[in-house]
Amino acid sequence: MLHIKNVTKSFSGIFEPVLKDVNLSVGEGEFCTIIGANGSGKSTLLKIISGEYYADSGEIRRNGEVSQVVQDVNKGTVPAMTMLENIALSRMKTPRLVFYRRHINDAIDKVRSLNIGLEKFIDQPLGILSGGQRQAVATLMAMNSGKTSLLLDAHTSALDPKMQKMLMEYTAQSVRELQLTTLMITHNMEDALKYGNRLIMMHCGRMVVDVKGHEKSGLKLSSLLEMFHKFEDQSLEGKGEKNVN
């Protein structure tokens, strides 16, 4: 369960607040996809929820601990450690060698469930993998950390189309099976419609679209793109930047 009330966040050197009186309630096990243009406040919102940033004002209440996967593949994993060691760190507050004896087969099965052939690297330093492969491992670690809430900040952005599809299928299945309360930022409009039971669009630091259930499932890609461009056009007109023929 997550409750955000009247949250505002500004940064020095930026004229307008990045977040403006944002209100959001997310139920236990709800899967929200979040879209919006660059600078709309998406990542800042997730960083405030995770505790990486403090809000200037407003209230945040959440139940349980939060795991997250960010766009920077250097965060959340230790490249010099093996994949197995990284998984051990994500699953145990005080990892011990007993993990390797008792749980190595389970760890291999978890990596195999990604369905992208990474299990052969289980004893290799994570740093030898590509950025996209490391992002997939980071997602697996977050899913299996035992935490009840999950924040995904464009976690498939570094992957090729085939791996992106596989990781999204893994994500959706894991969120459903583990009943994780999930907020997922994506730049892929089709994924925003296909996955999750709720869709949020942010624009200039505010939530401008919030649909769920039948309303979300009935939303067409063309309609979503039309709404997205409408808000962007309004923003450009307000700044006097839109071309007029």
Rounded to 10°, the helix 98-112/131-143 angle is 110
Q: Is 133 exposed, middle or buried (0-12, 13-18, 19+ CB in 10 A)?
A: buried
3, 27, 163, 221 from 212: Cα distances, Å = 17, 12, 27, 15
pTM of the model: 0.88
In the chain, the domains with their CATH numbers are 2-77+149-239 (3.40.50.300)
Rounded CA-CA distance 213/205 in Å is 24
Stretch (H or E) spanning 3 = strand 2-9
Q: What are phi and psi of 137, to 5 degrees?
A: -65, -40
Q: pLDDT in tens for each of the 245 residues of the chain?
A: 899 999 999 999 888 999 999 999 999 999 999 999 999 999 999 999 999 999 999 999 988 788 999 888 777 788 888 888 888 777 765 555 555 556 678 888 889 988 888 999 989 999 999 888 898 999 999 988 888 999 999 999 888 888 899 999 999 999 999 999 999 999 999 999 999 999 999 999 999 999 999 999 999 999 999 999 888 777 655 555 554 34
